[in-house]
Amino acid sequence: MQNLLLALQAQGFASVWRSGDLMNSQAVKQFFNLTDNNQVVGFIYVGMAGAELPPRKAVNTDDFLTFY
């Protein structure tokens, strides 16, 4: 899934993986014609970003990373 999200971003799409208790509600299972033996593990929402992300400040890894 991570590779799919990265590929979508590389193509200019915005995407997010969502999961939670509502995924396996009866309404969702009924909509997708799933049995009780099936389990939904997540949904990927894909669209276009409404705005560009601001540039991120550089992270100094010396604060929390040590090489031995």
Domains held by the chain: number: 1
In this prediction the pTM is 0.61
Q: Given this model, what pLDDT does residue 18 score?
A: 92
31 occurs within a structural domain: yes
Q: What is the DSSP letter of 35?
A: -
Q: What Cα–Cα distance (Å) separates residue 45 from each residue in 35, 66, 67?
A: 23, 37, 38
In a domain, 63, yes or no: no
Evaluate whether residue 22 is within a structural domain: yes
Task: Give the side-chain half-sphere CA count within 13 A for 22.
Answer: 3
Task: Tell me which residue range forms the domain holding 28.
Answer: 2-49
CA distance 62 to 57: 15
What does the pLDDT look like over 13-62, one tens digit per residue? 999 999 988 888 899 999 999 998 999 999 999 999 887 778 889 888 88
